[in-house]
Structure formats: C-alpha cells, structure tokens
C-alpha cells in the first residue's frame, strides 16, 4: 500500500513538473505535452492511474489553465490512464485511450474556454498529432527504457 502511494505521488509530481516547466508547449492550440509520455506507465503499475490524473490536475492548475481545462483536462487524462490500465496486456494499446480522449475533449476546451477560432476538426487534428508524438513516440522510448531496466533487475 505504501509503495503504491509513493509511486502515485512520484508519477503525479513528475507529470505536474513536466507540464509546468514546459508550459509553452504543454498548453496552446498546437501542443506536445511531454508529460503525456508517462501515460505508458499503467503498463507497469496501477499506481499510474491516480498518479497521472493527479499530476494533470496539479499541472493544469499551477500551469495557469482556465478552470474548465483544469477539470476536463484531468478528466481526459483519467479516462486515458484508466483505459491504458485496462489495455495493459498489449504495450502498443496502452497509450491509445489517452490519444483518443484528449483528441475528443481538448478541442472543445480550446474552442469554448480559450475562444480559439479554429474549426474543431482542425484543432482535433493538431491535438491528435501532439498526442501521437508525446504518448506514442516519447512514450515508447520511455517504455523501452523501463522494460530494459526491469530486465536488468530480474537477472540478479
């Protein structure tokens, strides 16, 4: 139980820190939220689900997001993390719920909360590309590194 709480706190802290420090690319119409690479973590631990959505909540709140993005942005991350945990049997499917939930939810936040005057399909396409870069490309790099480290520990 204590290990799970520690993992949750570490994941939340890393996600929030990456989001806040890299705010210029974590928010806006075209965004590549580097912290979304952590959405691969449900493959390794169930502590990633609360860690990711708490990290997103904290990162959005302290990163200067409007209230609707704080609420619905972390909801998109929660849906993605929970879906990734359900799909943890296949490492290639784990980031998929994050990509889908953010592609559906975030364009509405941009349009109605930030009044970005761009068609929803174009906004969704930009979010999709950013999510594919962060969740799949960077997430796969992180996953490969973690799997390599895990295999090192098993040999001992």
**Do residues 54 and 8 make contact, with C-beta atoms less than 8 angstroms apart?**
yes
Write down the mean pLDDT value for the chain.
93
CATH of the domain at 80: 1.10.1760
pLDDT tens per residue across span 42-95: 999 999 999 999 999 999 999 989 999 999 998 999 999 999 999 999 999 999
Question: What's the domain count of the chain?
Answer: 1
User: Alpha-carbon dihedral of residues 39, 73, 126, 142, nearest 10 degrees?
Assistant: -10
pLDDT band at 152 (very low <50, low <70, confident <90, very high): low
**Do residues 111 and 120 make contact, with C-beta atoms less than 8 angstroms apart?**
yes
Lowest mean pLDDT among 24-28, 102-106, 109-113: 24-28
Residue with the larger pLDDT of the pair 121 and 4? 121
What mean pLDDT comes out for the span 97-121?
Answer: 95
CA distances from 79 to 76, 84, 131 (A): 5, 8, 14
What mean pLDDT comes out for the span 19-31?
Answer: 89
| Residues present in the chain in total | 156
* Domain that includes residue 97, residue range: 2-155
């Amino acid at each position: 139980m204590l290990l799970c709480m520690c993992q949750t706190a570490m994941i939340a802290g890393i996600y929030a820190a990456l989001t806040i420090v890299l705010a210029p690319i974590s928010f806006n119409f075209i965004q590549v939220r580097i912290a979304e690479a952590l959405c691969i973590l449900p493959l390794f631990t169930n502590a990633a689900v609360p860690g990711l959505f708490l990290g997103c909540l904290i990162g959005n709140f302290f990163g200067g997001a409007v209230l609707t993005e704080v609420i619905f942005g972390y909801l998109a991350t929660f849906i993605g993390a929970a879906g990734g945990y359900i799909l943890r049997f296949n490492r290639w499917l784990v980031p998929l719920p994050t990509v889908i939930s953010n592609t559906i939810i975030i364009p509405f936040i941009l349009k109605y909360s930030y009044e970005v005057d761009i068609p929803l399909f174009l906004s969704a396409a930009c979010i999709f590309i950013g999510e594919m870069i962060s969740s799949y490309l960077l997430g796969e790099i992180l996953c490969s590194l973690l799997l390599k480290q895990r295999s090192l520990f098993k040999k001992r």
